[in-house]
Chains A and B, each alone.
Chain A
Amino acid sequence: MREYAFFLGCIAPNRYPGCESAAIRTSRKLGIELLPLEGASCCPAPGAFGSIDLKIWYAMAARNLVLAEKMKKDIALLCNGCYKSIWDVNHKLKHNDELRDGVNEVLKEIDMEFKGTIDVWHLIELYYDPKIVGVDKVRDSVVHPLTRTRIGVHYGCHLVKPKKEHHFGDSENPMWIEELVGALGAEPIQYRKKMQCCGAGGGVRGYDIAHSLDITNEKMINLHEAKADAVTEVCPFCQLQFDRGQIEIKEKFGKYWGLPVLHYSELLGLAQGMSPAELGLDLHAVDCTPFLKKIL
């Protein structure tokens, strides 16, 4: 069993708790034990918070990193927004003495010090990395293959961009999450502008909801055109934007897509035999039943 400090973020535990329980239970079957990171806060939101003052963003994220440093565990997380904050700040503070000194100045007030002793991973990276889990092991854990389903993958931005700072190469047309979806027995499909943003980031969802939803709507049009049964992502914020966003799109623009949105942990949970109720799929704004009917 590899142990990681599980950084929850906000939206998974507080809006889609099924992601949290799915992540813990499915990872365990893949040899990963996710330990609670006691006292963690918001990462804090890279767009909404970082826009105001990056210095404070560094300090707040560093506090979360120090909690894991004290546990002597690498961080694993399941949200691209958290990944941007926690991975980026860890990387920047490790490589920029001036930044680190500034942050430690502040952390001293709460008896903390950033030392730069741990690494940060997105769960999906751990699943894909053959040295940790690997696609084969994921495939082996499947008891209930998601056959006959067409699934569009939304990578989200901060997992793969900017590319040089991250672990898996190309950000123009990556295919590795597709491999992980294929390992569950589903058919990963390609659709137009796969790498386009969900529309929520940078504080835009709160700042101009119509603008934000229009970006989401374009994703929906493209997924619909490709005859997707569901879209999967690895970011609860993208999930929120796609899932609740479809309701908002209906309210604002009068168009309802009804496309089920599932975090990869939820898909993995289904494939490993967890029930929809155990995964809290009933908490999703868009009804997942049509998708579930295909696999059950």
Chain B
Amino acid sequence: MVDTTMEKNPRIGVFICHCGTNIAGSVDVKGLVEYAKTLPNVAFATDYQYVCSTPGQKIITDAISEHKLTGTVVAACSPRLHEPTFRTATKEGGLNPFRFEMANIREQNSWVHMHDREAATEKAKDAVRMAVAKASLLQDLEVKTVPVEKAALIVGAGVAGMQAALDLGNAGIKTYLVEKNPTIGGRMSQLDKTFPTLDCSQCILTPKMVDVYRNPNIELMTYSEVEAVEGYIGNFDVTIRKKARGVISMEEAEAKGIKGGGCNGCGDCEPVCPVIKPNPFEMGMKPRKAIYIYHPQVVPLLYTVDFDSCIKCGLCVEACGEKKAIDLEMMDEFVKLKIGTVIIATGYELFPVEKKTEWGYKQFDNVVTSLEFERLICASGPTGGNVIRPSDGQKPKKIGFVLCAGSRDNTGVGKPYCSRFCCMYSLKHAHQIIEKIPGATPYLFYMDIRSFGKMYEEFYYRIQDEGAKFIRGRVSNILEDPATKNLHVYTEDTLLGRPVDVELDMVVLAAAVQPMEGADTVRKLFGVSCSQDGWMLEAHPKLNPCGTTTAGVYLAGVCQGPKDIPDAVAQAEGAASVASIPLHRGFVELEPYFAQCIEEKCAGCGMCVNLCPYQALSLVEKEGRRLMQVTEAKCKGCGTCGGFCPGGAIWMQHFATPQIVAQIDAFLLGGEQ
């Protein structure tokens, strides 16, 4: 039953923060205090250097009892920063914490009107007056707690998703790891070596892949995608689409009663398949069949049928024989999961660098991308680790590396941001060709070498010492000699101040990175925002880098912005840690900003029910009447229903009509009664 009564004789305390000179530098704080004292219902007003400090909070607590306050107003920074602080102080003073109202006079005032003290002060007065008007009408509210499902979902099983899954699994949490590809491992499994340590990427990654597979708390769902998401922190209802892979595992076979059946990865099916397609894991440089695995170390070791190209000839089914692992009539399945918290780790792909036509990718045979180069130099790659020129299979002796290939580009074609790991992997590539091809010379065309990580600058030193040539100039264009298929790379050696025409055997473009295809769909399903560069938006760039604005949804790895492996893993561990907090705690507190039905006024028309974007409203029979009822845990307090209800029968807690009207009046009437 909703309580719409409000304080009869409000006594409000106003606390104005200097924030050092952040506010006091452009707002007349003393004048503001004097002004506040003149406002109706204000029983006490004061200012302090830093109201958020311990002594600052004590001023609030003390004033509440001393002046018998019924509500508090702090005029300071954004509520996103210190609302919890001041609520706590209000509570410690003996008031309900929701009797507190904050006026933002920093982000929305002093910082933007730095050079107009007079107007900034006037605006601050408006903000304080409005806050006082609302605070006078605030009610006691109780925080709602809801139980949390002790299960986590991780979307994307690259190195970040795997690390997060391992951390959560090892902490005893049931973890679903969903991966759209047939195998886990992600981008890292495509890399040959990693900088600056030159570890073999697969050698350090495959043990983790095996761990993920073996961990009893991790449920792997490969070749699967998130289909639908409902619910809220602690209680997400997630539907997973298990794409038809045409092959059943040994466990699935056993469940079906096929003794000793199911796919054991023997590979008998593959040679008989007549369909040949490019293998995306090898960047299309190696063929695969319509029934395939990406590479020998896939996890799970389970073949997949590409139904887009399968001609259903049935040869594979024959070859599989008694194992009966192949089902060419398999359909997609949907699995519903109950999830407490979610980590998104959808990773990246390369920017389509052929759009920068001046570099000739997809026009000239011997211009390749960095990921193609990773496969070419990888011992398990399409050439067995022999770097060759695509045009003639010859060993290149002079190889160019074009850095910032599409990064730091404001033309609208490329990406404005720095892709952050290209400098370092290009140094690594340079090292690798020096090591693998006797007499080879790498030429690195760069604007800046950004070697910011631990042992990175030392790595740069080492590669320079090994004989790599560094030319400080962004590549203007690349032309192919039609006879030799050699490439002429044009730029300026900006340090010599001379234009340069270097003839090279092969050129590797360190292409910019962009969010993975499909990441946007996942992002929207979980209600996560994206920053203007297209990557997913963290809750705070410095102080909440793993969180999002959706409670219970966290980010790990490159989906939040370009990161190298150490950073991706570090963020994954961070995300696993924050994602586990509500799971271990067992409950979450919800801000009580729920819609409530004023039953006397509700006509039971039900129009609000369909308007609610969160399915939080329903119609119920009560004492012979039809009434609207709110499922509080689902309600986000958006106000859609409250604004619409023709009978004014919906009460938005903490944002109730009288409270908002009071604020508007206070603003428009300029303090006149």
Which of A170, A190, A192, A193 has a CB less than 8 Å from the CB of B357? Answer: A170
A173 to B482, CA, bound (A): 14
Is A190 within 8 A of B479, CB to CB? no
Q: Is B640 an interface residue (CB 8 A)?
A: no
Smallest Cβ distance from A163 to chain B, in angstroms? 9
A68 to B481, CA, bound (A): 46
Q: A152-183 toward B: CB 8 Å interface, digit per residue (1/0)?
A: 00000000000000000010110000000000
Which of B358, B481, B482 has a CB less than 8 Å from the CB of A172? Answer: B358
Smallest Cβ distance from B359 to chain A, in angstroms? 9
Count chain B residues whose beta carbon lies closer than 8 angstroms to a beta carbon of A: 8
Please indicate the chain A residues that have their CB under 8 angstroms from the CB of B482 in the complex: 190
Q: Is B477 an interface residue (CB 8 A)?
A: yes
Q: Is B38 an interface residue (CB 8 A)?
A: no
Please indicate the chain A residues that have their CB under 8 angstroms from the CB of B358 in the complex: 172
Count chain A residues whose beta carbon lies closer than 8 angstroms to a beta carbon of B: 6
Which of A170, A172, A190, A192 has a CB less than 8 Å from the CB of B477? Answer: A172
Q: B340-366 toward A: CB 8 Å interface, digit per residue (1/0)?
A: 000000000000000001101001000
Q: Looking across the interface, which residue of chain B has its beta carbon closest to that of A226?
A: B482
Smallest Cβ distance from A157 to chain B, in angstroms? 14
Smallest Cβ distance from A162 to chain B, in angstroms? 11
A172 to B359, CA, bound (A): 9
Smallest Cβ distance from A173 to chain B, in angstroms? 7
A170 to B481, CA, bound (A): 20
Q: B305-329 toward A: CB 8 Å interface, digit per residue (1/0)?
A: 0000000000000000000000000
A173 to B477, CA, bound (A): 11
Smallest Cβ distance from B529 to chain A, in angstroms? 30
Q: Looking across the interface, which residue of chain B has its beta carbon closest to that of A172?
A: B357
Please indicate the chain B residues that have their CB under 8 angstroms from the CB of A172 in the complex: 357-358, 477
Q: A168-212 toward B: CB 8 Å interface, digit per residue (1/0)?
A: 001011000000000000000010110000000000000000000
Smallest Cβ distance from B410 to chain A, in angstroms? 13
Smallest Cβ distance from B239 to chain A, in angstroms? 42
Please indicate the chain B residues that have their CB under 8 angstroms from the CB of A193 in the complex: 479
Is chain A's interface secondary structure helix, strand, loop, or mixed overall? Answer: loop
Smallest Cβ distance from B364 to chain A, in angstroms? 10
A193 to B357, CA, bound (A): 14
A158 to B481, CA, bound (A): 26
Q: A89-103 toward B: CB 8 Å interface, digit per residue (1/0)?
A: 000000000000000
Tell me which of A172, A173, A192 has the highest count of chain B C-beta atoms within 10 A of its own C-beta: A172
Please indicate the chain B residues that have their CB under 8 angstroms from the CB of A170 in the complex: 357
Q: B471-491 toward A: CB 8 Å interface, digit per residue (1/0)?
A: 000000101011000000000
Q: B505-545 toward A: CB 8 Å interface, digit per residue (1/0)?
A: 00000000000000000000000000000000000000000
Smallest Cβ distance from B382 to chain A, in angstroms? 28
A192 to B479, CA, bound (A): 8
Please indicate the chain A residues that have their CB under 8 angstroms from the CB of B481 in the complex: 192
A173 to B363, CA, bound (A): 10
Tell me which of A170, A173, A190 has the highest count of chain B C-beta atoms within 10 A of its own C-beta: A173
Please indicate the chain A residues that have their CB under 8 angstroms from the CB of B363 in the complex: 173
Please indicate the chain B residues that have their CB under 8 angstroms from the CB of A190 in the complex: 482
Q: Looking across the interface, which residue of chain B has its beta carbon closest to that of A171?
A: B357
Smallest Cβ distance from B485 to chain A, in angstroms? 13
Q: B20-63 toward A: CB 8 Å interface, digit per residue (1/0)?
A: 00000000000000000000000000000000000000000000
Q: Looking across the interface, which residue of chain A has its beta carbon closest to that of B359?
A: A172
Q: Looking across the interface, which residue of chain B has its beta carbon closest to that of A174?
A: B357
Tell me which of B357, B360, B477, B481 has the highest count of chain A C-beta atoms within 10 A of its own C-beta: B357
A172 to B477, CA, bound (A): 9
Please indicate the chain B residues that have their CB under 8 angstroms from the CB of A192 in the complex: 479, 481
Interface residues of B in 359-386 (CB under 8 A from A): 360, 363
Smallest Cβ distance from A182 to chain B, in angstroms? 18
A190 to B479, CA, bound (A): 12
Q: Looking across the interface, which residue of chain B has its beta carbon closest to that of A193?
A: B479
Please indicate the chain B residues that have their CB under 8 angstroms from the CB of A173 in the complex: 357, 360, 363
Which residues on A are within 8 Å of B, measured CB to CB?
Answer: 170, 172-173, 190, 192-193
Q: A172-B477, A173-B360, A192-B479 are in contact. List 5 more A-B contacts (CB 8 A).
A: A173-B357, A173-B363, A190-B482, A192-B481, A193-B479
A-B CB contact pairs (8 Å), 8 listed? A170-B357, A172-B357, A172-B358, A173-B360, A173-B363, A190-B482, A192-B479, A193-B479
